[in-house]
């Protein structure tokens, strides 16, 4: 048995909503270490407030330091609708690959469950989906920018 991306994502969601400071999980030859704010480590895994996971293969520890690379885009106070926020710190991708068009653009109509973007954390990609039917009113991050936990990524006006 091995950990899938979905398994790791669910573990991170549980840790994020709990008081747990550290989790070490070993499944087969994979070791998952999750630490909030670098708890228990002499060298923090991340400077972000959200839990960050380091997945290690035997003899190859992985340490990541999260640092913002670009400021968030300003979303007008007059923009109203449902905010779609980043569930984790990671790299924001508007396109499924560099050669393809963006998932969505401002003014585009989306349906609940449509992919809006990808967030990459340590080579694991999370697809962020539209929570409602509506029109994309604003996009809050540049393609390939590092986004913060709970940062507004999109505003969707309901239809």
pTM, entire model: 0.55
Q: Which two tokens stand for residue 41?
A: 């480590």
Task: Please check whether residue 36 lies inside any domain of the structure.
Answer: yes
Specify whether 91 is located in the same domain as 147.
Answer: yes
Task: Please check whether residue 139 lies inside any domain of the structure.
Answer: yes
Task: Provide the 8-state DSSP code for 138.
Answer: E
pLDDT tens-digit map of 21-74: 777 777 777 777 777 765 544 443 433 344 445 554 444 444 444 444 444 556
Specify whether 94 is located in the same domain as 43.
Answer: no
The answer to whether 157 touches 134, Cβ cutoff 8 Å, is: yes
Whether residue 108 has pLDDT greater than 80: yes
Specify whether 151 is located in the same domain as 87.
Answer: yes
Specify whether 105 is located in the same domain as 42.
Answer: no
Task: Please check whether residue 67 lies inside any domain of the structure.
Answer: no
Q: How far apart are CA 141 and CA 117, in angstroms?
A: 10
How many structural domains is the chain composed of?
A: 2
Give the residue numbers spanning the domain of 151: 82-158
């Amino acid at each position: 048995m091995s950990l899938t991306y979905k398994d790791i994502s669910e573990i991170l969601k549980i840790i994020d909503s709990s008081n747990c400071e550290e989790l070490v999980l070993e499944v087969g030859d994979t070791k998952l270490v999750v630490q909030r704010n670098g708890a228990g480590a002499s060298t923090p895994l991340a400077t972000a407030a959200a839990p960050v996971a380091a997945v290690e293969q035997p003899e190859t520890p992985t340490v990541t330091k999260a640092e913002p690379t670009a400021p968030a885009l300003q979303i007008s106070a007059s923009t109203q609708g449902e905010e779609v926020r980043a569930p984790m710190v990671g790299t924001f991708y508007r396109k499924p690959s560099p050669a393809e068009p963006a998932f969505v653009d401002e003014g585009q109509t989306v349906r609940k469950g449509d992919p809006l973007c990808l967030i990459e954390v340590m080579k694991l990609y999370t697809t962020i989906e539209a929570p409602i039917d509506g029109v994309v009113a604003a996009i809050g991050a540049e393609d390939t920018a590092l986004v913060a936990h709970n940062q507004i990524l999109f505003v969707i006006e309901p239809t």
